[in-house]
Each structure stands twice: as structure tokens, then as C-alpha cells.
Amino acid sequence: MRLTEAHVRRVHREIADMGPPEGMTPATDADIGRFAAEIAAGAPEPSQVWLFAYGSLVWKPACAFVEMRTGTLRGWHRAFCLGWNTRWRGSTENPGLMLALDRGGSCNGVLYRLPPDAIAENLELVCRREMGVVPSPFPPRWVTVQTENGPYRAFAFCIDRNSGAYVSGLDDMQVADVLAKAVGSRGSMTEYLYLTVKHLEEMGVRDTHLWRLQELVAERIDALVE
């Protein structure tokens, strides 16, 4: 990888959490419980709840799990299409772009099986992190993931193209410009990209698009100090 921890340190800044942006409604505890119950209701078996991770959930699942395996989701692809983030990984000056699943293509990712005896509480942990506002711009849906052991039903977070948070039409150069600059209260987009690519690679998952982006982002950060 050309993008390194040194690049992450170079762009890091401490930024206070200013709360939800204007116009966004924070999810309540009741909302979180409802989201979790709706996901659980779609499971093929009550004790078999799998989460398909493709971005930050790869390296920070936000919940406990008892089994992990890699797999391919067809009909959806990983894309920096969730924007514009001005809180967690961006600011009003330099908004961030987050990963979500968008229609078309395919996506290699990681499956996590939630503990059968603690489904509800772990679903709530995932929902609390991924669905902090209502309505969610990338709601969960049940999908079929192909693995070396056959197909598995899992829930994954997929972009709602009609949410107002859907971003499309950017080329790799434009996306890299965003990822090299945006920093929020949870860290930088550079860190987000670095950790995602690094952990996917460690799991034997090569995403050629993300690999190209990490090279482009590293070039931009290097150019700032030359």
C-alpha cells in the first residue's frame, strides 16, 4: 500500500463533535430498538443473523460476533456515494464521503455472525452506530452473499438513492480530493480509507477501486509537503 499510517497522522486534526447537522433528526432509543427488531424479523432463522461488512464495519464491527467469513455480494457494489458528511469524517469546510452499497456490480466483503444468545442487543449496537438519524440514508436490507460454503442471507446497509444523501457522478480524482482533505470528530477520511483497504487486504480481499484510491490519496497528501 502506498497510503500509510504516516499519511493518516499527517492529516489528523482534533475536531469537536458539534452534534447532528441542521435538518437531521437524531434516532431515539425507541427508533434503535425498532430498527433492530425489523432486521431480526427478516432473518431466515432467529438464531442465524449475519452482518455483511464492506467498509468501516470490516475493521470496527461495533458488535460481538462468533463467526467470520468472506463472501461476494452480487448486484451491489461498494462506492463512496454517501455524502456529504460534516460531522464524523468531515466538516462544513471539507465534507466527507462515506462508503455505502450502491446498485450494480458486485462487492467482496466480510460476513459476521452475531451471537445467537445476544441477537437483539448486538443488533442495537450496530444500528446505533450506522443509523444515527431518521430516516436513514442507507437503510439495512437482507441480501444473499455467496461464500465457499454456499449462499448466506445477511443484512447490509445499502444507499437509498432518493434520500438526498446519494452522491454520484464523481470520478476517482474527485473522490480522492475529498478523501485527502476531509476530517471530522471521528477522524479523517484518509484514516477511513486506509483502515478499510488494510483490513480487506489482510483478509485476502482485493478491491481494485479502493486500491487505486489509496494511491491517489497518498499522492495528494505527499504533494502537500513537497
1 in a structural domain: no
- Give the per-residue pLDDT at 131: 95
Active site residue 130: yes
75 in a structural domain: yes
135 in a structural domain: yes
Domain count, the chain: 1
59 in a structural domain: yes
36 in a structural domain: yes
What DSSP character marks residue 158?
Answer: B
Q: Which domain holds residue 62?
A: 19-225
173 in a structural domain: yes
Write out the chain's pLDDT in tens, 226 residues.
Answer: 999 999 999 999 999 888 777 778 999 999 999 999 999 999 999 999 999 999 999 999 999 999 999 999 999 999 999 999 999 899 999 999 999 999 999 999 999 999 999 999 999 999 999 999 999 999 999 999 999 999 999 999 999 999 999 999 999 999 999 999 999 999 999 999 999 999 999 999 989 999 999 999 999 999 986 5
Q: Which of 14, 67, 93, 130 is catalytic?
A: 130
CATH number at residue 87: 3.10.490.10
- Give the per-residue pLDDT at 111: 97
5 in a structural domain: no
- Give the per-residue pLDDT at 116: 97
80 in a structural domain: yes
